[in-house]
Amino acid sequence: MEVGTYRFHRRARMAFLQLSADEQAQVLARLASLVDAPVGQWPASGVKKLAGDELYLVPVNDDWRLFVQAKKGEEPEVLDVVRQQTLEAFAKLAGHNGN
């Protein structure tokens, strides 16, 4: 599946298809807002750069986040669509893990 110049990994596609029509529209609008911006300018629009130079966390709204991989010379790929509360739960677990 592709949206503009963004490819969707099968995991992200499955999650996207389970969203409501309104949530899907919000995801597509968020991706559209990044299409013409160089990856280096994404953080200025609230995008968080993660481990390495290729992985980004893109907020869609208060509930949803996208993991987007943007390898140099390739089309960006949405790797996953996740709820913010899921990320917070994992962060909380990691904080209590003691490792």
Domain coordinates in residue numbering, the chain: 2-96
- Residue (of 73, 74, 87, 82) closest to 6 by Cα position: 74
Residue 59 main-chain phi, psi, to 5 deg: -75, 135
Return the bridge partners of 69, or none.
55, 77
Model's pTM, two decimal places? Answer: 0.86
Q: What is the DSSP string of 40-61?
A: GGGGGGT-EE-STTTEEEEE-S
pLDDT (tens digit, 9 = 90+) per residue, 38-62? 888 888 889 999 977 799 999 999 9
Q: Give residue 44's identity as a one-letter amino acid code.
A: A
Please, what CATH class does the domain formed by 2-96 belong to?
alpha beta
The mean pLDDT value for 4-29 works out to: 92
The mean pLDDT value for 3-30 works out to: 91
pLDDT above 90: residue 31: yes
